[in-house]
Structure formats: structure tokens, C-alpha cells
Amino acid sequence: MRREIMNYEVILKITRAVAMSRDPEEVTLIIVEAVKTALEAKGCALLLFNRKTNELELAASHGLSDEYLSKGPLSAIHSIADSLKDGPVAISDVTDDPRIQYPEAAGKEGISSILSVPIFVQEKPLGALRVYSAEPWDVSLEEVNFVQAIAQIAGMALEMARLYKGLKDSIELLKARRDPKTLKSRKWTPYEGVPTSAGRVGPISQDRS
């Protein structure tokens, strides 16, 4: 793993790519590929927290095999749970750490160490960004800060994509409601929409006596 301080060029590259895309799937793919490449890691995955099932669901990954990704459901309680509450967690040896839910699958995949960083939106856990190393990894503070910065960008990007989708759906709904084919020609009156209980002001009297 590379040890030098991550420069701003990588973050700028990610933010530029994210800013140009409003597709959540594309955003997550850009992020995991950029993190894997920047850290020269074995793989990277972005996991989203499902509050209904209390599981972590895969949103995107890069560098990991289909066999490893389909090893089974990830429990938010048993799979590096602290990274969703207390902050970044670094696992130096996946084969000898109780916080790993599937140690045998990790060993078979050739994973030695994992860094898991939470993704928050408005102080609520949205998921986790995890980086996988094939070699024993003594994670540096600079590397943790780098992944944390990308995790924050990921949270904002996903929230923006969600809001954009909601706005787009609302606009389409309004368009459908205002479709000229479904509207009848009519004239609007001065009191259109005014509750009858509000009363109506009569014409101004010209009698000043």
C-alpha cells in the first residue's frame, strides 16, 4: 500500500466526476474505483445500511470477485459494526479478528487487512466505504483521513442524487397533471380557489354620502 500523503488531485478528480453525474450507480462506481486506484489496494466496496433488515447491502465494488461478494448477507451488527457508530476501523488481520463476519471467505479472497469508514448523511449512518488490502496494512492517519474525505463526498453525492431523483419525479408528475390533453379549456374567475366561508367583498359603492 502507498504511504505518502494523498494529494488533492485525486479528490478533485472524484468530485469533478461526481458533479457531472446524477446517477447513484455511476457515482458509487466512480468512487470505489478511484479509491482502489489511489491507495493501490486490492479492492474497494461501498455498502449501504438497510434499516429494515439491519444489513449492509452492496452498492458498488471494484477489484473483488463475485464469489466473495456473494458470500452471504452482511450483518450491520457482526460485520465491523463499530465503523457505523464510532468512526473508522482498521482490521490488520482478517483471519484473527472477531469483528470479521466471514474470515474464511476473506482469507480465500486473498484479503489481509480492511479499513472500514462510515458514510454519514445529516449525522445518520448511510453505510460504509471499505478498502481491502492483499498485504498486511498498517494504516496511516493520512490514509484514514483520505478515505474519510471520500466517504463524506460519497454521502453528499448520494443524497444529491436522491434529491435530484425526487425533484425529477415531482416535475414529471406536475407535467402529467398539466398535460393539455387532460385539461379542459376554461376561464378562471377572480375568486377561484377562495373558500366560501371566507366571504366575498362586494363591489365598491360609489355613494359617498
Kindly report, residue by residue over 81-128, the tens digit of the pLDDT: 777 777 899 999 998 899 999 999 999 999 999 999 999 887 788 899
Whether pLDDT at 206 is above 70: no
Question: Could you tell me the residue ranges of all domains in the chain?
Answer: 8-167
Cell of 139: 494504516
Of the ranges 32-41, 43-52, 102-111, 156-165, which one carries the lowest mean pLDDT score?
Answer: 156-165
Instruction: Look at strands 124-133 and 74-75 and give their pairing.
Output: unpaired
Q: How confident is the model at residue 201 (pLDDT cuts 50, 70, 90)?
A: very low
pTM for the model stands at: 0.74
pLDDT surpassing 50 at residue 188 = no
Q: Residue 139: what pLDDT?
A: 92
Superfamily the domain 8-167 falls into: GAF domain (3.30.450.40)
Would you state the pLDDT for residue 45?
A: 95
Which spans in the chain are helix H?
8-19, 24-39, 66-69, 103-109, 141-177
Give percent of the chain with pLDDT exceeding 70.
73
Cα 115 to Cα 109: distance, rounded to the nearest angstrom:
16
Angle of CA points 147, 75, 96, to nearest 5°:
70
Percent of the chain residues past pLDDT 90, beyond the cut = 37
Give the cell for residue 125: 449512518
Three-point CA angle 55, 89, 98, nearest 5°: 70
Mean pLDDT of 38-46: 94
**Residue given cell 478533485 in the structure block:** 12
User: Which pLDDT does position 180 carry in this prediction?
Assistant: 52
Q: Is 88 or 14 the better-scoring residue by pLDDT?
A: 88
The answer on pLDDT for 209 being more than 50 is: no
User: Residue 94: which of 144, 139, 137, 57 has the closest Cα?
Assistant: 137
Query: What does pLDDT average to over the chain?
Result: 78
Lowest-pLDDT range of 21-30, 114-123, 195-204: 195-204
pLDDT at 193 over 70: no
